Amino acid sequence: MDRRRSRRGWSGFKLFIWAVVIIALGPSLVNLPRVWVTCRVWEDVPETESILDDETMRAAIQKIPDYYRPESKTYLTLPEWYIVYSTDEYAAFLQEHRSGEFPYFKAVGQYWQSYVDVCREIKGRYPFNSDSQFTLGFIGISFTAENMLKGAYEGTLGRVTEWISSDTPTEEEIFAAQVARDYGEFLHMTPWYFFPFKETLQALWTETSMWGPDPIRKWERKLALTVEYGGKILYAGFTNLGAQATYGGADVEKVYAITSGMTTDLVSDDLEIMEQIDDLQLIRITRFEYFSDTVPGLAERDVQFIEIAGNDEILFTLIGSQDADYNFEHGTYLFDLPILTQPGLTRVSIKVRVADIGLFLQELKGRSNIKFEHMYDY
C-alpha cells in the first residue's frame, strides 16, 4: 500500500513537472522555428555599406572599431523593447487592477508577433545577424516562460485568493505595484539583470507586516513574490555572466553618427563631438532612451543627420488610435500591434531614412492623434 502511494505520488509529481515545462516552453518551441523560417536564416546577403562620400570623414571613422552597427539591428531591437513596453503596461495596469486580470498570454503572443514582423521586413535585405537573433530567442524564451507561468498561476491559485479577499489591496500588492513601476523605469536605461532583485526581496519581508487584513491573500502574495524575485536573482546572475562573455569590454552604450549643423553648445557628457571636418561632425551619443529622447530635439535645432552607425535607415514607433492615418511622405508604415490594456490604441512601426528624420518629425507634428514613442539605435 505504501509503495503504491509512493508511486502515485511520484507519478503525480512527474506529471506536474511536465505540465510546468509544457506551459513554460511550449509557445517558444512553436514560435522559434516560425521566426527562423521567416527570417530565412539560410540566406547569404551582403551587409549594407555607408553612403558617406566625404573621404576625410570616411578615413576618420575607419579608426573607430565599433563605429559600424548592422542596419538590421534597428529592426531587431524592437522585440527587445517590446518587453520594456510590456513591463510598463503591466506596471500601469497594477495601479488600477489586480494582477490576475493582466493579459499575460496575449503579451507572449505579441512578443513573438513583433519578432516575426521585423523578420518579414529584414529578410532578403540583410545578412543573418546571429548575435541579435540569439539574444531575441534567449530573452523570448525567458519572457514567455515567465508570463506563461505567471498567467497560469494568477489565473488559478492567485485568482482564488483574489475572490476570497476584499477589494482593498494588501500591503504586498501595493509593494508589487511599486516595484513593477520602478522596474519598468529602470529598463528604459539599464539591462534588466542589473535591477536590485536581492534588495527588493529583502524589502518585501522587512517593509510589509507579517499579519494584517485578508491574511490568506496577504501570505499568498508574499510567497508568490518571494518565488518571483528569488528566481530573478538567480537568473539575472546567469544572464549577466552571459552578457559579459558576449560583449566583454565593448562600448555598447554609445553610438556614432555623422551630422551637419551640430554646435558645441549642444554638447554634454552623453553627446560629444569627436571630429569636425569642414561642415560635418562625427558625434558620439549615449544609446537607448537618451538617444531616442535627444535626436528629435537635435532635429528641431536644425541638426541634420547624414548617417547613424554607418546606416541610412532607422525604425520609429508611434502610439495612436487604430483608425488614424499612418501614411507619411517621409516615413513608411510597416506594421502595428494593439496596446493590450488600452483598447483603441496601437503601436505602429515606421521606417524612416536617416536623412529625413527632421522632415518626418515635422510631418508627425501635424497628426494630433498620433505621438512619437521611440526610435531604435541599432
Closest CA to 354 of 130, 58, 66, 48: 48
How confident is the model at residue 13, as a pLDDT? Answer: 65
Across the chain, mean pLDDT equals: 89
The residue ranges of DSSP E strands in the chain, in sequence order, are 254-260, 271-277, 280-286, 304-308, 313-321, 332-338, 345-353, 370-376
What does the DSSP assignment read for 225-279?
HHHHHHHHHHHHHHHHHHHHHHHTT--TTEEEEEEES--GGG-BTTEEEEEEETT
Query: Which amino acid is residue 117, in one-letter code?
Result: D
Give this prediction's pTM: 0.88
Report the first-to-last Cα separation within the chain, whole angstroms: 64
H or E element at residue 139: helix 130-154
How confident is the model at residue 249, as a pLDDT? Answer: 46
Q: With 0-12 CB in 10 A as exposed, 13-18 as middle and 19+ as buried, what is 116? A: middle
Residue 332 Rama label (left phi>0; alpha psi -120 to 50; beta)? beta
* Cell, residue 188: 528604459
User: pLDDT tens digit string along 234-272?
Assistant: 998 888 776 665 555 444 689 999 999 999 999 999 999
User: pLDDT tens digit string along 71-80?
Assistant: 999 999 999 9
User: pLDDT tens digit string along 145-157?
Assistant: 999 999 999 999 9
